[in-house]
Amino acid sequence: MPFRLSPCLRPATITDLDALVAIEERCFDADRISRRSFRELLGRATAATIVFEGAGGAVVGYAMLLLRRGTAMARLYSIAVDPASAGKGIGEALVRAAEELAFDRGRLLLRLEVREDNERAIDLYRRLGYRPIGRYLDYYADHMPALRFEKTLRGDVPLNAPTPYYEQTTEFTCGSCCLMMALARYRADFELNPVAEVRLWREATTIFMMSGLGGCEPHGLAVAAAEAGLSAEIYVTEEGVLFLDSVRSEENRKVMALAQADFHARARALALPVTYGPFGLDTIRDAIAAGKVAVVLVSAYYMFGKKVPHWVLAHGDDGRHILIHDPWVEDEIGETIADAANLPIAHEQFDRMARWGRGALRAAVILGPGR
């Protein structure tokens, strides 16, 4: 049934700005949401804020959700209750309302971070069914670690998998970061770090793409994976040189064609399986069921509103959702790793987003342990 708030709870509006800032200042000495950020978040389609009204209609608490586009995950970005109204169950009411709102928006999971020394909040989250999923060192301004918690809003199966997460440190290394995460899953000796990120990017890049540095190409990713000791299978709907539509310079196009011809030749020399032609979600699901992972080309428009090709790592499947690690974290809008790791995406949505450009190019590299 549609989401409904109790009489004391309502969606926040811009008229609540003064009250929200005042609560923030009374509750926190540091790590505060600024007035400017509150204003921006209140108007953002991928954020939602609920307020609790006390006696006389005064706003005495709030909970703010971030709702990443194209996924089935929400994050409890911030929650605060005026100290003068503490101990009245307002925090619990706000958390429950946030869960209902996330559920109504089609979210499977709700995640949050909490100060490691905030025993009262931790007890509340545990009592409401949240499970610990990690710890961030030096997370807050005073260097206090944060504990990460998660609750499944639909179903009871925890969506965790043995695939480490790594956030890309450049705008162009999404493909190499996906490859790194796969290597870290299957090779105990592999270390996730920026040096390996750039090295693998150099080994798999198309040289040029868009107006900046090049992105990775499926044959290049597969060759780099195989040379690093993984099994690799290539699925792509088109033969020939990929991503040329995004490059205007004829000289750059020639260099791309040469680089990709080399990748194709090296893939043949390594006897890597290559399938050209249509393929769908079942290919990815079958690979995951066999204990493998898939580096999948998607349109970033579905993830963060940018019309660029993007690589993500599909590593889990709960029967209704594909679980992905997205190496891109939008730090400028307040995202953290919690917003990009283990993202559940409905099968239908994933199938729509796993294509690129006017020709609906599909590409995936299936990776597994040892060749």
Query: What residue spans of 106-211 are helical by DSSP H?
Result: 119-127, 174-186, 194-204
* pLDDT number for residue 336: 79
* pLDDT number for residue 95: 96
Are 56 and 92 in contact by the 8 Å Cβ rule? The answer is no
Q: Is the pLDDT of residue 200 over 50?
A: yes
Q: Give 47's pLDDT tier (boundaries 50, 70, 90).
A: very high
| Stretch among 86-95, 113-122, 135-144 having the lowest mean pLDDT | 135-144
The Cα 361–Cα 222 span in angstroms is: 17
> Mean pLDDT for the chain?
88
pLDDT tens per residue, range 316-356: 998 888 999 999 988 777 777 878 888 888 898 899 999 98
Q: What mean pLDDT is predicted for residues 69-97?
A: 93
* pLDDT number for residue 252: 76
Which residues of the chain does CATH 3.40.630.30 include? 9-112
What does the block give as tokens for 163? 């695939």
Tell me whether strands 321-325 and 309-317 are parallel, antiparallel or unpaired. Answer: antiparallel
Q: Is the pLDDT of residue 108 over 90?
A: no
Are 152 and 320 in contact by the 8 Å Cβ rule? The answer is no
Higher-pLDDT residue of 295 and 69 is 295
Q: Mapping DSSP to helix (H, G, I), strand (E, B) and coil, where does residue 181 land?
A: helix
Residue keyed to tokens 């000289």: 251
Whose CA is closest to 107, among 57, 59, 65, 63?
65
* pLDDT number for residue 158: 54
Q: What mean pLDDT is predicted for residues 194-213?
A: 77
* pLDDT number for residue 256: 81
Q: Which long-range contacts (CB under 8 A, 24 or more apart) does 248-254 make?
A: 249/208, 252/207, 252/208, 253/208
* pLDDT number for residue 156: 54
Are 214 and 205 in contact by the 8 Å Cβ rule? The answer is yes
Report the CATH architecture of 9-112.
3-Layer(aba) Sandwich (3.40)
51 CB burial (10 A radius; 0-12, 13-18, 19+): buried
Are 186 and 370 in contact by the 8 Å Cβ rule? The answer is yes
The Cα 34–Cα 21 span in angstroms is: 7
Q: Is the pLDDT of residue 365 over 70?
A: yes
Q: Give 48's pLDDT tier (boundaries 50, 70, 90).
A: very high
Whose CA is closest to 302, among 340, 338, 337, 354?
354
The Cα 108–Cα 218 span in angstroms is: 31
pLDDT tens per residue, range 239-288: 887 776 766 777 777 888 888 889 999 999 999 999 999 899 999 999 99
- Give 114's strand partners: 147
The Cα 280–Cα 150 span in angstroms is: 30
Whose CA is closest to 75, among 52, 95, 53, 51?
95
**How far does CA 354 lie from the centroid of its chain?**
15
Whole-model pTM above 0.85? no
Which residues of the chain does CATH 3.90.70.10 include? 174-368
Tell me the CATH class for 174-368.
alpha beta
State percent of the chain over pLDDT 90: 60
The Cα 51–Cα 58 span in angstroms is: 10
Q: Secondary structure of the chain: what % helix, strand, coil (to 5)? A: 35, 25, 40
Whose CA is closest to 259, among 201, 307, 316, 173?
201
* pLDDT number for residue 133: 85
Whose CA is closest to 54, among 27, 80, 74, 81?
81
Q: How many CB atoms lie within 10 A of CB 346?
A: 16
Tell me whether strands 109-115 and 73-81 are parallel, antiparallel or unpaired. Answer: parallel
| Stretch among 207-221, 247-261, 283-297, 309-323 having the lowest mean pLDDT | 207-221
The CA radius of gyration of the chain, in Å to the nearest whole number, is 23
Q: Give 2's pLDDT tier (boundaries 50, 70, 90).
A: very low
